[in-house]
Amino acid sequence: MSEREQIFNKIVSTYSERLYWHVRRFVLSHEDTDDLLQEIFIKIWTALPSFRGESQLFTWVYKIATNETLNFLRKQKVRAALRFQSIDAELENRIDSDPYFSGTEAERELSKAVARLPEKQRQVFIMRYYDDLSYDEISSVTGTSVGSLKASYHFATEKIRESLKDILLPD
Amino acid sequence: MTRKNDISVPEGYFENLQQRLSGIARTESPAAKVGVVRRLAPYVAVAASMLIAVTVGNWLLSRTAVRDTQSNYESMLIAEADPLYGPDGYSFLDDVVEEITDEDIVNYLISSGISMEHINAVRYEEIY
């Protein structure tokens, strides 16, 4: 087995599950997540010879996964627009019809509120709240300053709080 | 089922996932690849055949060019009158439109950098 294969298999065993949950929070579908993971790891395999260690391996892998996921979501958004449909409505449908969702009603509404966030805020919220990454780690992955990330996270939580207040505590 | 807070996956999914992902390295490793020359050989053969066919075809056509000049001129006049249709009434656009898939359109819009606001604005104009 070549060194490249050894490193790749190590990445698979170390990060595949973590990347699954990361992608899943964005695309809201087990099947799409599974397909996307295949593409992500093919990209990782292809790009592995060019990894020079300028960043940590984890950051590098996470960046590939995040970029591929965001590209996937952008395509979905354009397809929805061409069909005169709302991507927000489509994402909410995915949450409601997900056979693998087993949380509470509050968790379901939280997922929907996160899905409605603008892309940048959604990205930061998922990586901070669900993936439990530090702001420094998120900054390494996204290339955004820690200050901007904290601001994005703050605005995201404010929007979510407003959204959930209307739904879970109606007048 | 394996569960992370509010989302679950089928039992054994991650073990199966690791096996499938490791297969990427086995499939893409150099030992599994056919040599470059052997892979390109069929394409080179096809390209060479097409080149010969085009060369012979051009030679044959050049021998009949003078005779067909008059009819070609009339065909050109007809085509220019209605650029979407050829002399026989066939629309040249039909084939082109059929070849463009939704995926092509999506990829073009993303690569062109067109904004969602612009798409929605165009959509609004089409509806109202």
Q: Tell me which of B107 and A97 has the higher pLDDT.
A: A97
B44 and B24 in a single domain? The answer is: no
- Confidence bin at A22 (pLDDT 50/70/90): very high
pLDDT value for B125? 59
| Total beta-carbon pairs less than 8 A apart between chain A and chain B | 89
Q: Which of A118, A123, A163 is nearest to A143 (CA)?
A: A123
The three-state secondary structure class of B9 is: strand
A2 touches chain B (CB under 8 A): yes
B106 and B125 in a single domain? The answer is: yes
State how far the Cα of A17 lies from the Cα of A10, in Å rounded to an integer.
12
Q: Write the class of the CATH domain A1-102.
A: mainly alpha
Q: What is the percentage of chain A residues whose pLDDT exceeds 90?
A: 69
B→A contacts (Cβ < 8 Å), by residue, are 1, 3-10, 14, 17-18, 20-22, 24-26, 28-30, 102, 105-107, 109-110, 116, 119-120, 123, 127
B27 and B40 in a single domain? The answer is: no
What integer is the mean pLDDT of A60-77? 92
Domain containing B120 equals 91-128
Length of chain B: 128
State how far the Cα of A119 lies from the Cα of B76, in Å rounded to an integer.
53
What is each CA distance from A66 to A39, A70, B36, in whole angstroms? Answer: 12, 6, 33
Contact A66, A141 (CB under 8 A): yes
Contact B79, B87 (CB under 8 A): yes
pLDDT value for B101? 76
Interchain contact, B22 vs A108, CB within 8 Å: no
* Interacting residues of A141 by C-beta distance below 8 A, sequence separation 6+: A59, A62, A63, A66, A127, A133
B11 and B21 in a single domain? The answer is: yes
Q: Which residue of B14, B20, B24 is the best one to mutate when testing the A interface, meaning the one whose CB has the most A CBs within 10 A? A: B24
B95 and B125 in a single domain? The answer is: yes
Per-residue pLDDT tens for B11-24? 999 989 999 998 98
- Confidence bin at B36 (pLDDT 50/70/90): low
Type and span of the H or E element at B33: none
B110 and B95 in a single domain? The answer is: yes
Per-residue pLDDT tens for A106-154? 899 999 999 999 999 999 999 999 999 999 999 999 999 999 999 999 9
Per-residue pLDDT tens for A23-63? 999 999 999 999 999 999 999 999 999 888 777 899 999 99
What integer is the mean pLDDT of A156-171? 82
* One CATH from 2.60.40.2470, 3.40.50.720, 1.10.10.10, 3.90.650.10 for A104-171: 1.10.10.10
**Strand ranges for chain A from DSSP E:** none
| DSSP string for residues in B52-101 | HHHHHHHHHHHHHHHHHHHHHHHHHHHHHHSTTB-TTS-BHHHHHHHH--
* Domain boundary assignment for chain A: 1-102, 104-171
Mean pLDDT, rounded, of chain A = 90
B97 and B62 in a single domain? The answer is: no
pLDDT value for B111? 76
Interchain contact, A5 vs B29, CB within 8 Å: yes
Of A34, A79, A102, the CB nearest to B3: A102
B75 and B38 in a single domain? The answer is: yes
Contact A39, B20 (CB under 8 A): no
B28 and B39 in a single domain? The answer is: no
Minimal-distance CA residue of chain B relative to A131: B4
The shortest C-alpha distance from B95 to chain A (Å) reads: 22
B40 and B76 in a single domain? The answer is: yes
pLDDT value for A61? 95
Number of domains in chain B: 3
